[in-house]
Amino acid sequence: MSSREITVKTRERTVMIDISSEVQKAVSAAGILEGIAVVYSPHTTAGITINENADPSVKNDMIRTLNKLIPYEDGYTHMEGNSDAHIKATLTGLSVTVPVIGGRLALGTWQGIYFCEYDGPRNRRFIVNAING
């Protein structure tokens, strides 16, 4: 098993950043040919998800819909003022697991791995564990 921590600087309050290439680099550096890659966000206001990466309008639609369903201000009682970000991170999830086959992430044709920022801009990190199987 190999672990790598990767940093990302977000520039907006809510944004989805394609991190597929960084995850693939971590898997390649680990020398894992067959196994799994676990990608994890150690933040309570940011998530990790897999979705379409061919058309940027998909992530824009996702962000717009999340913001409509869970508005920034909605009478929340959390003192930090970022309850919406906590809720969005819970819905997105904090990790994904991707099979590794032949040293490559076994993502579908249109899939990418996204770091989802809901309380930015911030300096963030995510962890990739590449596990030999």
Q: Report the pLDDT value the prediction gives residue 133, as an integer from 0 to 100.
A: 87
- Token pair of 63 as six digits: 């962000």
Summary mean pLDDT of the chain = 97
- Backbone φ and ψ of 121, nearest 5°: -75, 145
**What pLDDT score does 54 carry?**
93
Which H helix or E strand runs over 98?
A: strand 95-101
Domain borders along the chain are 2-132
The fold of 2-132 is Jelly Rolls (2.60.120)
Q: How far apart are CA 96 and CA 94, in angstroms?
A: 7
Residues 46-71 have a mean pLDDT of: 96
pTM of the model: 0.96
pLDDT tens for residues 8-27? 999 999 999 999 999 999 99
- Look at residue 90 and tell me whether its pLDDT is greater than 90: yes
Backbone φ and ψ of 59, nearest 5° = -65, -35
Place of tokens 């909605």: 74
